[in-house]
Structure 1
Amino acid sequence: MPRVLPDPPDPFYYLANFERALGWLDARCADLFDAAGQRLVQGFGTLPRASRALFVRMLMRKGPQFRASKLDYAEIGCPRAAAAPLIEAGWLDGAPVLEFDALAALVTRAELQALAARLMADADFETANHAAGFDPLRALNLRTATRAALLNALDATAPSARGWDAWFPASPDTVVDFTAAPLCERLRLMFFGNLRQDWSEFVLADLGVYRYEPVPLDGASRAFQQRADIDAYLALRDCREAFDLAPEDQRADALAAALDTLDALAAHTRANAWLHARHDRVRHAVGQAAERLGDAVLAMRAYRECGHPESRYRRVRVLEQLGRRDDACALAQAIAAAPANEEEAQRAARTLGRLTRKRAQAQPAQTAQPTPTHRQIELTLPAAHTHLRVEEAARRALASADAPVFYVENTLITGLFGLLCWPALFAPLPGAFFHPFQRGPADLHAADFVTRRGALFDACLAELETGRYRATIEQRFADKYGTQSPFVAWAALDEALLTLALDCLPAAHLRLWFERLLREPAANRSGLPDLVRFWPRERRYELIEVKGPGDRLQDNQRRWLAYCAAHDMPVTVLQARWETHETHETAGTTEAAETTETGTATP
């Protein structure tokens, strides 16, 4: 039987998607439009279809300048004819003035050669360059010069900005400037609530590349509640870019200016929780940049008014840099007494040990007890496997027919959690979902993320007590497979692994892991051990963190290991080393001979 191919897609699919987005924005966010936005939304549909299609084609390409010859689309036809209504509407400039940098992005090497030859033949240009005392073009062999060499020489000698016709008088081509780009960026921000996503989300969703959980969205489900929120977001974006891109010798001034901008925005952003969290992230980044510059005073100014989870501890370090040892110690003690999270507690305890020289005296009472330990073993890996990652080499060395081993770092436990707690994670709460293309709730990093969903999470975890959890997870795996989630990495899960995990991981241990994830859902998604080994006949398991030569445990890994050890979960740190000539001569032929238990180690 001949294969039946699907009908060709609508050649204007991209236009339909953009118009769908405009309609969505008009229905939900009309009060947020400025005059330019209102004019676009209301007037776009009155243009000829070819013009609207050209508008979206340019919107989805890197610009904003385009050569007409490069806007050749069969469904649009003549690009100049399609561009005319856009020029009349003011969304396209049909004769932009081009600086040399903008021109350079549009032309070929051959065109650069022709431009250089014409400039050298121009009497006025020749006179001007001789008067300036240099003529870098004359030093080039135009026939063999590379594109980079041509660009450098032309950049040093090219005349002032001018239109395409003045740069290339004999060219039949023309250049247009998509002047609506900033306006469209604003609309994109209004739709997605961020500038990471773009209009291609529609296409990827339509093609089934990405699937998103459908969450009910009412009129209040939008990222911005007032026009000033959009302005504040863009100001934060510009602020971050300004100091990130500032030359090294201007970086300190750029950081100080950024803090002035952030101070001015602070009062407004406090009224919007997720926008203020973004404000704090930018402010924390200023503090980190100031520390790298060695400007402790500027760093302290940044951290002092910052609500970022790491800023309070950074103030301790900056106080040390300023020589205020007593103040640093007092703040570290305050953090240790009431830490915001486990990471802050861990850092404060370590700092107190250094500041007071007597760790036991400085540690708070709850950490004075001996830290739970985990098993530690050594494993010699075959030299033939040095082309593999150490985790994969260890997995192969440990696996057997009766005890399969899987690489699951940060995917298995979090995946099971995500599947069981799906209804809580995708609950349509205010401020959580803004548009149909969200991978997860926007307030995942918020301090009240779990408390707002407390009853929903309790209901999900209650299934671990009744035994219903297994059927729920298996059914949700089938129903939701491939749907985007901040906790489920579908590529790392399959039915075989899921079955083994549900067979061998006790419900009590699942609850303990899930409870720790709920303490800090965003932070505790990482740091979990690399491997899991199952013994299906015995319905038991072991978590294994693999460390290669010279590799050390990270803080988040230490916290997970300590937690598992404290609750008597089977967890092991495997220190791997590669087989050498000497070890090959002395090692036994069995895995038991290659694996040596070295006792316990404090995480």
Structure 2
Amino acid sequence: MTLNPLDDPFYYLNNFQRVLAWLEQRYADVLNRQEQQFIADFGRLPRASQALLVRMVMRKGLHFRLGKLQYPEIGDSAEAAEPLLALGWVDERAPLSIDDLFEVLLKPEIVQCFGALIEQPKAKKPQWLAALRERFDDPRTFNDWYPALDDRLLSLSIMDLADRLRLMFFGNLYQDWSEFVLADLGIFTYENVEFCAESRGLRSRDDLEAYLYLHQCQQRFEAGEDVTQVVEQIHALQTANPWLEQRRGKLLFQLGQHCERVADWPTALAIYRQCRYAGARLRLIRVLERCAEFQLALELASHAEQAPESAAEHQQLLRVLPRLRRKLGGAPASRSKAREVERLDLTLERVDPALSVECLVQAHLDDPRGPVHYVENSLINSLFGLLCWPAIFAPLPGAFFHPFQRGPADLLSEDFHARRADLFQACLAELADGRYVATIRQRFHDKYAVQSPFVFWAVLTEALLEQALACLPAEHLKLWFERLLQDIKANRAGMPDLIQFWPQQKTYRMIEVKGPGDRLQDNQLRWLEFCREHQMAVTVCYVQWAGPEG
């Protein structure tokens, strides 16, 4: 019988100790003296003190009322806090702003604390805070704010250190300690990947500091700091880590998009000219066009046309180039006529406004001999993910570095496929001799509910899987899978909404649904064109509403 880790009341402490042991083993050369000392001192603390600190680290915020830090397994929290206070990891005389104070006091306590200064006793806390903020702009200790209250406030002094440890373990700051609990509860199950010695998200102390530096730049931007100053700070970073360069590029791209939204064209131009992130070149062309720099925009667009970075960029260039040439006085370009796609027009009763148009079309077309499934991007991605599971979860250096990864860290990198070319080739080879059917079927059962960046377990039922394996030709699967590998970020979206199978005939058709006023998006147009090019059965269904709404 397998024991549930959550049966141990100190499960959270066990998880934290597991992280510290992992970091000592794999990041000893990255830990600085303060972090090493913390790990050593933490190990010497009484268990109750360790548990109390971890409880605080894993909770939201920095300030905690001692009266609310009550846990049966810890016992006397005041006693458990004493070693933490002695080490300086917890402070009970930390200065609090009035905003901090309002976070830890209840409404009746605020009324008692400020007395007659609360002019509207029935108002809400934010209204009181707005009225009092100008009168109290100096920070004070909790006891100085409210000496009559019989409680103590403990403030964490080591949250920055705890965040650095969390960053080293996860390789990012968006995952937190709840990952352990979700895994222990069985809500998330992760693939068991063997970690090689070179597999670390942050390879050096410089990498760690660079990640934190970029994170702080993003926080300053989100806090409203001048964009040009943030951009200067981003460019000042020196790093040789390709992964961090990708993060820098993405952040610059986001700043450029912000400048476009507020019509700050000069800053947007300056950002995009120095940004190598995918899509930045096209944005630069569009901003040059907005600034009436048509000749420069045309020159850059013509250069890009010679070697588009993606199908998405090429699609956009086919629209931009004729427009730029026309604005410069050139002859109108003859536009190639789009190939016809099979069209289905339906007029439906909107029986339930809560139901999506896709669900209504699915119900209308569904037939016992030709079942219709609402799959959108889920089916093709899932089949690819199951067949190519060994390649996707291959333990390559830099791909997996902690036990809670849904997929490889380099999934969207330019060399993702190239690094695993032989592995993917071996997986796709099964499509040629029919082995793929048994492989996908077996992997569906063996890996069921294990997290994957491609498999949609909530959608992929066994019935859907069997119909797909029976009706989708192996040559079509191969074409779809190869297209996915060409550009995972762009091509794993935009697939038709519905798929209809005819198991008796072993055929299928895909159906893209468009409600009134809706139009095909660029990624959908690219998928439709791909399907037409390879004689795959695809239909665009245009829906109008019957009755008054029609």
TM-score, normalised by the number of residues in structure 1:
0.88
Q: Which residue of 1 aligns with 2:419?
A: 452
Q: CA deviation at 1:260?
A: 0.9
CA contact (8 A) 1:373 1:562 kept: no
Of the three residues 497, 517, 525, the one matched with 2:492 is: 525
Say whether 1:162 aligns with 2:160: no
Q: Which residue of 1 aligns with 2:269?
A: 300
Q: Which residue of 1 aligns with 2:483?
A: 516
Q: CA deviation at 1:361?
A: 7.6
CA contact (8 A) 1:418 1:487 kept: yes
User: Following superposition of structure 1 onto structure 2, how do residues 129-144 of structure 1 map, counting pairs within 5 Å?
Assistant: 137=117, 140-142=119-121, 144=122
Of the three residues 101, 104, 109, the one matched with 2:102 is: 104
Instruction: Give the 3-state SS of the residue equivalent to 1:110 in structure 2.
Output: helix
1: distance between equivalents of 2:339 and 2:444?
A: 35
Instruction: Give the 3-state SS of the residue equivalent to 1:492 in structure 2.
Output: coil
Q: CA deviation at 1:153?
A: 2.5
CA contact (8 A) 1:386 1:578 kept: no
Say whether 1:561 aligns with 2:533: no
Q: CA deviation at 1:434?
A: 1.2
Indicate how the Cα distance of structure 1 residues 23 and 8 shifts in structure 2: closer, same or farther if over 3 A, else same.
closer
Say whether 1:230 aligns with 2:202: no
Of the three residues 252, 256, 261, the one matched with 1:283 is: 252
Say whether 1:205 aligns with 2:183: yes
Give identity over the alignment, percent: 48
Which amino acid counterpart does residue 414 of structure 2 have in structure 1? A
CA contact (8 A) 2:377 2:492 kept: yes
Q: Which residue of 2 aligns with 1:590?
A: none
Which amino acid counterpart does residue 527 of structure 1 have in structure 2? G
2: distance between equivalents of 1:151 and 1:116?
A: 11
Say whether 1:264 aligns with 2:231: no
Q: Name segments (4+ residues, structure 1) moved above 6 Å.
A: 5-8, 358-363
Q: CA deviation at 1:158?
A: 3.2
Which amino acid counterpart does residue 147 of structure 1 have in structure 2? K
Instruction: Give the 3-state SS of the residue equivalent to 2:354 in structure 1.
Output: coil
Which amino acid counterpart does residue 88 of structure 2 have in structure 1? G
CA contact (8 A) 1:406 1:533 kept: yes
CA deviation vs aligned residue, 1:325-383 (integer Å, no higher than 9, x gap): 111011111112210100000111110121123999898xxx97654331111111123
Q: CA deviation at 1:219?
A: 2.1
* Farther off after superposition, 89-98 or 495-504: 89-98
CA contact (8 A) 1:329 1:355 kept: yes
CA contact (8 A) 2:407 2:453 kept: yes
CA deviation vs aligned residue, 1:387-422 (integer Å, no higher than 9, x gap): 311000110011011111000011000100000001
Indicate how the Cα distance of structure 1 residues 6 and 432 shifts in structure 2: closer, same or farther if over 3 A, else same.
closer
2: distance between equivalents of 1:451 and 1:238?
A: 33
Report which of the two structures shows the higher radius of gyration computed on alpha carbons: 1
1: distance between equivalents of 2:177 and 2:428?
A: 37
Q: Which residue of 2 aligns with 1:497?
A: 464
2: distance between equivalents of 1:394 and 1:175?
A: 59
- In structure 2, the gaps of 5 or more residues are none
Instruction: Give the 3-state SS of the residue equivalent to 2:351 in structure 1.
Output: helix
Which amino acid counterpart does residue 114 of structure 1 have in structure 2? Q
2: distance between equivalents of 1:83 and 1:95?
A: 14
Which amino acid counterpart does residue 503 of structure 1 have in structure 2? A
1: distance between equivalents of 2:332 and 2:11?
A: 65
1: distance between equivalents of 2:244 and 2:49?
A: 36
2: distance between equivalents of 1:551 and 1:458?
A: 39
Say whether 1:339 aligns with 2:311: no
2: distance between equivalents of 1:380 and 1:371?
A: 26
Instruction: Give the 3-state SS of the residue equivalent to 2:90 in structure 1.
Output: coil
Q: CA deviation at 1:318?
A: 1.6
Say whether 1:542 aligns with 2:520: no
CA RMSD of the aligned region, Å?
A: 2.1
Of the three residues 30, 42, 45, the one matched with 1:44 is: 42
2: distance between equivalents of 1:387 and 1:516?
A: 35
Say whether 1:89 aligns with 2:72: no
2: distance between equivalents of 1:297 and 1:538?
A: 60
Of the three residues 287, 296, 316, the one matched with 1:318 is: 287
1: distance between equivalents of 2:172 and 2:19?
A: 15
Q: CA deviation at 1:152?
A: 2.5
Q: CA deviation at 1:52?
A: 0.3
CA deviation vs aligned residue, 1:83-108 (integer Å, no higher than 9, x gap): 11011112111221211111010001
CA contact (8 A) 1:352 1:362 kept: no
Which amino acid counterpart does residue 404 of structure 1 have in structure 2? P
CA contact (8 A) 1:360 1:368 kept: no
User: Following superposition of structure 1 onto structure 2, how do residues 479-490 of structure 1 map, counting pairs within 5 Å?
Assistant: 479-490=446-457
CA contact (8 A) 2:366 2:372 kept: yes
CA contact (8 A) 2:6 2:185 kept: no
CA contact (8 A) 2:259 2:265 kept: yes
2: distance between equivalents of 1:371 and 1:421?
A: 34
2: distance between equivalents of 1:107 and 1:273?
A: 46
Length, aligned pairs only: 548
Say whether 1:383 aligns with 2:381: no
CA deviation vs aligned residue, 1:399-458 (integer Å, no higher than 9, x gap): 011111000011000100000001110111111111111100111111111111111111
TM-score, normalised by the number of residues in structure 2:
0.96
Q: Which residue of 2 aligns with 1:15?
A: 13
Indicate how the Cα distance of structure 1 residues 50 and 556 shifts in structure 2: closer, same or farther if over 3 A, else same.
same
CA contact (8 A) 1:112 1:150 kept: no
1: distance between equivalents of 2:491 and 2:123?
A: 55
1: distance between equivalents of 2:437 and 2:5?
A: 41
CA contact (8 A) 1:405 1:531 kept: yes
Q: CA deviation at 1:6?
A: 7.6
CA contact (8 A) 1:372 1:566 kept: no
1: distance between equivalents of 2:476 and 2:185?
A: 39
CA contact (8 A) 1:116 1:154 kept: no
